[in-house]
A = this chain, B = another copy of it.
């Protein structure tokens, strides 16, 4: 009997699934988590007006979404002082990273990122046959100079920088990034992943002209805006670059209610301020919990705190495992030396209480 003929690239890709969500772990262990602190979700939740927008939009869920996301783009344009033509909306930043990799990467093309940075980006690059070059973090920061140097060495088409970064939670100043653009090698596009930018100090924001063809910025509705389940991300960039997404994207890929919720969430600046305050408080408390347990919290510009457990990756992995056994969903960086740490999401005090209670036992059990 005849079998499908895949592309050579597909045949070469690994068939392991690198994305293990908490539900998958819960089903595997048969034990539900009592505190979901591993995925940097916003446990404080979205704006009440976003929830109300969902409720209203759900009544018209029989309609296809607006393929142009007109209203959502208009709001983003107004907030950022740019044109709708500078914005593309996608099925999360994940979806947009996939589209961008498809637009730029032919087999053998080179891409530079930090070793231990966002694995989903790497997944998409590899999925289009790109060759990844990884630069180590430097003192728990992404090393922009080294990234640029490496990009020049390997003639990279893409350079990925997250600011603030995941998984360490540190950030570079916007000035540092804007200044570095002039050193970016010719023909290299910087992907500036700002998924956590709304939770960072204001000096993290880079002042870059929207029509600058050297950069595309990624923004998320999943973090500060608390809409991770809605799957809405957006990218900001030069109109010519943004227009090219329309050549390949799933034009009707966005959930219609999610479009409405994202619009309402962006408009509720009061709720955003509330979340920023809650996250700030939560970061402080997580840092104190770390210190109370002789761990070293890394100063965070995000909605998580990465904690140095002071030993190797095996130990941190054991801590994550032991936390899991005690109902706490946590994650950790994937590569050394970052993997001496565990990473804990911010959340309401009730969730942090559970973490604070479990951590001493987990640390002991992991020894």
Copies in the complex: 2
User: A58, B65: Cβ atoms under 8 Å?
Assistant: no
Which 9 residue pairs are nearest across A and B when measured between Cβ atoms? A229-B256, A255-B255, A19-B251, A23-B66, A2-B186, A61-B229, A4-B189, A13-B247, A21-B67
Asked whether any CB of chain B lies closer than 8 Å to the CB of A293, the reply is no
In the bound complex, how far is the Cα of B186 from the Cα of A233, in angstroms? 41
| Distance in Å: Cβ of A111 to nearest Cβ of chain B | 12
**Most-contacted residue by chain B among A98, A103, A185, A255 (CB, 10 A):** A255
Which of B21, B94, B106, B261 is A8 in contact with, Cβ under 8 Å? B106
B261 touches A258 (CB 8 A): no
Cα(A58)–Cα(B48), bound, Å: 11
The distance in angstroms between the C-alpha atoms of A59 and B1, with both chains bound, is: 48
* Contact call A253/B17, Cβ cutoff below 8 A: no
A51 near B61 with CB under 8 A, answer: yes
Q: How far is the CA of A227 from the CA of B104 in the complex (A)?
A: 34
Are B46 and A103 in touch, CB under 8 angstroms?
no
Contact of A64 among B63, B64, B222 (CB under 8 A): B222
- Complex Cα spacing A205 to B291, Å: 64
A10 at the interface (CB under 8 A from B): yes
Selected A-B contacts with CB under 8 Å, 13 pairs: A7-B105, A17-B246, A21-B66, A41-B62, A41-B64, A44-B62, A51-B58, A60-B229, A65-B231, A94-B252, A127-B247, A253-B253, A255-B257
